Amino acid sequence: MKKKLKFPPLFTAVFFLFCFGMSLLLLVLPKQTFSETEKRNLAAFPKFSFAALADGSFTRDFETFLSDQTPLRRFFVSLNAYADLALGNNGGNGVYRGRDGWLLEKPFARDNHFADNTGRIVRFAQKTTVPCTVMLVPTKSSVYTDKLPKNHLRYDDFKTIEAAQTACEKSGLRFVNIGERFLAEKDRTALYYKTDHHWTSAGAFIAYAALGETLGYEPTAADAYSVEKTPNFYGTSYARSGYTLTKPDSLEVWRSKQTGGRATVTIVENGKETKADNLFFADRLNTGDPYTVFLDGNHALETIETGAGGGRLLVIKDSFAHCLVPFLAEHFSEIVTVDLRYYKKPVTALMSETAFDQVLFVYGADTFAENKIVLR
Amino acid sequence: MVFSSFVFLFVFFPVVFLVYYALPKKFRNAFLLLSDLVFYGWGEPVLITLMLGSIVFNYFVGLLLERFDGSDKKRKAVLIVSVAVDLGLLAFFKYADFAVRNVNAIIPAANLALPRIPLPIGISFYTFQIMSYTVDVFRRETKAQHSIVAFGTYVSLFPQLIAGPIVRYRDVDDQLQSRRENLPQISRGVQLFLLGLAKKVLLANPMGALWDELRAMPNGGALAAWCGVIAFSLQIYFDFSGYSDMARGLGNLFGFSFLKNFDYPYVSKSITEFWRRWHISLGTWFREYVYIPLGGNRKGKARQIVNILIVWMLTGLWHGASWNFVLWGLYFGVLLMLEKLFLLKVLQKLPAVFSRVYALVLVALGWVLFYFADDVGGFAALKAFVPRLFTGGLLSADAASVLLSVVPLLLIAFVACTPLIRKGYDRLSGKKLFPVLQTAAVAAVLLLCTASLVSDAYNPFLYFKF
């Protein structure tokens, strides 16, 4: 005969306390609508209808709702990341925990859109008489390889970008490769944020200086800018990695002492137009997404009238352009930025409306590799 | 609903558990049935009617078999009709698309449209459970169930409804009428459930991710391909046995006890032994309701060989409507036959290391066959993958990096395939600090599993498709 238990063993109590505790927390905790770390809206309680029940969407949405609203979500994601790390699996969420507080994205897929996207740009450039320039920014992991953990995947950014350069130059496009300059400068200045995949304004400044010869301007010296730092910046690498014990960055804004960033910025989103009078949206610095201080973040189409002299520049870009454009603004009277992930109309139509003098393509290597650009 | 989901762990289970124990005994079966229906309807809101229909139909089959006690002819007729209906439904819902595809392949002129019938969750499992009831009532090995609530509870019992084990009616007959829930059983249930949850979430899921990652590296090298196969072998074992453990644990929590479904299959020294340790409830079912009725080994060697091949072809087909499963079943049928004829004797003479490696390699190769079903590319994908096991260098730098980061987890997984952890647990159980260790282990499993589930949208149960 087994001994009869008078009291349940302690672990049984722990189990029930945990399950009941979590359900109670789910029930009583206020529902979150937005996740600042993930920068996305969280699922709300799904609307019930018999049709939704029958096609399974109600129960599916309910499960999404639950996983979005799980109590202590950040704690659990972080626990999982560090538990994996303890078992030797660095980068379980796609971001390595590197040396000296660097969070470094794993390489983009080998099987990617890089060559195809380059081909699309080449074909586009051949159809227009406006001179086109291409800049592809290597990922920070490929620049700061010495900060990577010992065991890491191989990075092909430099090779891939060189292949794109060859393809562009063969067809008469101008290509500005900043790889070498970055490698030369990387130990002197932080070219990227440790917790964000973007380059810093210091990194963008180097690119701006490198572009001068091709785009035809004399770059302004670095001391013509006042650097404003906002502490406690946690970027995208941080959000993805789950390594919540990482120290934050300071977000840098390089403001021209001469213009103060003044310009008329017109943002067109979903057919609605909004205007602002500065390239920097200072109020964004206190929000959950401070990186939108530059040009207000991702938009399909933005027009910047600077009041300065110079020609008209069309920038076809991803978010790497956001802190580069303010530097360029000093040398062009008008800059139009187009983000092809959101802008679905033909760019050629835009070019027949406005007489651009130059077209600049600026992409981070990872977005360029992972998204098919549709360029008409 | 799957067990390793928030909706189950933090909504469904706590509510059902609380209400179940708050209710007087006589209402518990009815409440359990209701919960089963919610559990099933959660993922299958429409085809739940099919399961309900099956329950009602077979309930009356049982009653009729009892009513016609005097007439063997009538009983036989009732059984034949019921088996035809049950298997017919299974065939229609599971194999109609497959059959049409094959007809089209053989007679291209036919060009039949695919019926595209959705596969009801768990139909393979509950159909087999139902048949264990009707056949056993026919054989007078068990009495007909007079309460439709108890019968419905048996068929749809949520712990084993969607991925087994296949519980024979006669094994739980008594428990359906009267079961005594008690604390030792509940804490056993908690342990089993958490063991299963840990297997699924902490081992099977990462192994699945590893298999996906290595498979997606066509130039990873032969070692990477073999490690991928090992990862898949581990994934399928921890996934399925984890699910069975959770099912048994949940059974315990509601006063049931189900038979063991897995018994450390990867320590087997032959394929014969492997199949005594893997998915035991399925093997038992096929032996009792197919192999023995076909004559088993009582009608001579030739007939036995035919019987083995039939049983294993059906076992394969049961796993999915795709030729690779049939081939996988026959593969084991042939191996088992060879072992019966002479190989087993040879194996017994060899050192244990050889026979273990022999069994593991053949089982792992079986999993390769098993993996490449039609929905992941079928034979074309299989043909592309197999050469990777033998050609294309040893290990690429990328694959090495991936493998290096999972070495500790792989080692844990290897140990977890053996009875070592169980033995250590038993040895510690007398010690003074044991309750503390147990509590710490439970807390760790709960926290880590929740952490993994929160982080991971990657949570499909492999055995959900059956």
pLDDT per residue rounded down to tens, chain A (376 residues):
344 445 568 889 899 999 999 989 888 888 877 776 666 777 788 888 888 888 888 888 888 888 888 888 889 989 999 999 999 999 988 899 999 999 999 999 888 899 999 999 999 999 999 999 999 999 999 999 999 999 999 999 999 999 999 999 999 999 999 999 999 999 999 999 999 999 999 999 999 999 999 999 999 999 999 999 999 999 888 888 889 999 999 999 999 998 888 899 999 887 788 999 999 999 989 887 888 899 988 888 999 998 888 899 999 999 999 999 999 999 999 999 999 988 888 999 999 988 999 999 999 999 899 888 888 8
| Residue from B285, B248, B82 nearest B166 by CA | B285
Any idea which residue has 């960055």 for tokens? A249
Q: Are residues B219 and B130 in the same domain?
A: no
Residues of A in contact with B10 (CB under 8 A): 19, 22-23, 26, 66, 70
Cα distance from A155 to chain B (closest Cα, Å)? 10
Residue B271 and residue B378 share a domain: yes
CB environment B95-109: b (16+ within 10 A), e (fewer)? bbbbebbeeeeeeee
DSSP state of A62: H
Which residues in chain A have their CB less than 8 angstroms from residue B14's CB?
Answer: 19-20, 23
| Alpha-carbon span B78 to B310, nearest angstrom | 25
Give the residue on B whose Cα is nearest the Cα of A71: B454
CA distance B72 to B364: 47
Statement: residue B459 has pLDDT above 70: no
Both A186 and A47 in one domain: the answer is no
The verdict on A291 and A162 lying in the same domain is: yes
Rounded CA separation A193/A187 (Å): 13
Q: Residue A77 and residue B454: Cβ atoms within 8 Å?
A: yes
Q: Do A18 and B446 touch (CB under 8 A)?
A: yes
Task: Specify the number of domains making up chain A.
Answer: 2
Contact between A54 and B45 using a beta-carbon 8 Å cutoff: yes
Residue A17 shares a structural domain with residue A151: no
Span between the terminal Cα atoms of chain A, in Å: 81
A358-364 sheet: strands from edge to edge? A174-175, A132-137, A358-364, A312-317, A334-338, A301-305, A262-269, A272-278
**Backbone phi, psi, residue B405, to 5°:** -80, -10
Q: Is B146 a catalytic residue?
A: no
> Between B301-318 and B323-338, two packed helices, what is the crossing angle to 10 degrees?
150
Kindly compute the dihedral angle of the four CA atoms of residues A309, A315, A319, A324, in this order, to the nearest 10 degrees: -30
Q: Are residues B199 and B293 in the same domain?
A: yes
Q: Are B69 and B207 in the same domain?
A: no
Same domain, yes or no, for A108 and A218? yes
d(CA B419, CA B263): 9
Residue A164 lies in a domain: yes
Q: Cβ(A306)–Cβ(A335) under 8 Å?
A: yes
Residues B195 and B226 in one domain: yes
How far is the alpha carbon of B369 from chain A, nearest alpha carbon, in Å? 26
Nearest CB to A77; choose among B17, B439, B455: B455
Q: Between A and B, how many residue pairs show a Cβ–Cβ distance under 8 A?
A: 128
From chain A, pick out residues whose CB is under 8 angstroms from the CB of B409. 87-89
The one catalytic residue in B286, B319, B328, B355 is B319
Do A76 and B454 lie within an 8 Å CB cutoff?
Answer: yes
Query: Of the candidates B268, B280, B254, B289, which has an alpha carbon nearest to the alpha carbon of residue B166?
Result: B280
Structural domain tally of chain B? 2
A residues 109-128 closer than 8 Å to B (CB): 110
Dig out the tokens for B266 from the structure: 């990867």
Residue at a domain's end among B151, B179, B207: B179
Helices (H), B320-392: 323-338, 344-349, 352-371, 378-385
Cα within 13 Å of Cα(A126), Cβ side: 12
Using CB atoms, which residue from A5, A20, A66 is nearest to B6? A66
Query: Of the candidates A197, A226, A194, A221, which has an alpha carbon nearest to the alpha carbon of residue A208?
Result: A221
Tell me whether residues A23 and B15 touch, CB distance under 8 A: yes
- Whole-number Cα distances in Å, B85 to A175, B78, B90, B138: 71, 11, 9, 16
Question: Touching check for A288 and chain B: CB below 8 Å?
Answer: no
Confidence check: pLDDT of B466 > 70: no
Between CA A190 and CA A182, with CA A244 as vertex, the angle to 5 degrees is: 15
Residues A186 and A58 in one domain: no
Q: B1 in a domain, yes or no?
A: no
Instruction: Give the domain range for residue A49.
Output: 10-70
- A56 shares its domain with A104: no
Structural domain including B113 reads 6-179
pLDDT at B203 over 50: yes
Q: Inter-chain contact A80–B452, Cβ cutoff 8 Å?
A: yes
Residue of A nearest to B455 (CA): A77
Please tell me the distance in Å from B330's CA to the nearest CA on chain A: 37
Global pTM reads 0.89
Q: How far is A112 from chain B (nearest CA, A)?
A: 13
Residue B448 distance to chain A (closest CA, Å):
7
Burial class (CB in 10 A: 0-12, 13-18, 19+), B86: buried
**Residues 222-281, chain A, touching B (beta carbon < 8 A):** 242
Q: What is d(CA B105, CA B99) in angstroms, rounded to the nearest whole number?
A: 10
The verdict on B212 and B173 lying in the same domain is no
Q: Does A52 touch chain B (CB under 8 A)?
A: no
- B448 to A80: CB separation less than 8 angstroms, yes or no: yes
Residue listed under structure tokens 């192999």: B291
Domain boundary among B144, B179, B214: B179
User: Is the CB of B404 less than 8 angstroms away from the CB of A88?
Assistant: yes
Highest mean pLDDT: which range of A49-58, B109-118, B156-165:
B156-165
- Give first-to-last CA distance, chain B, whole Å: 15
Residue A85 CA to residue B192 CA, distance in Å, equals: 27
Total residues found in chain A within this entry = 376
Do B260 and B233 share a structural domain?
Answer: yes
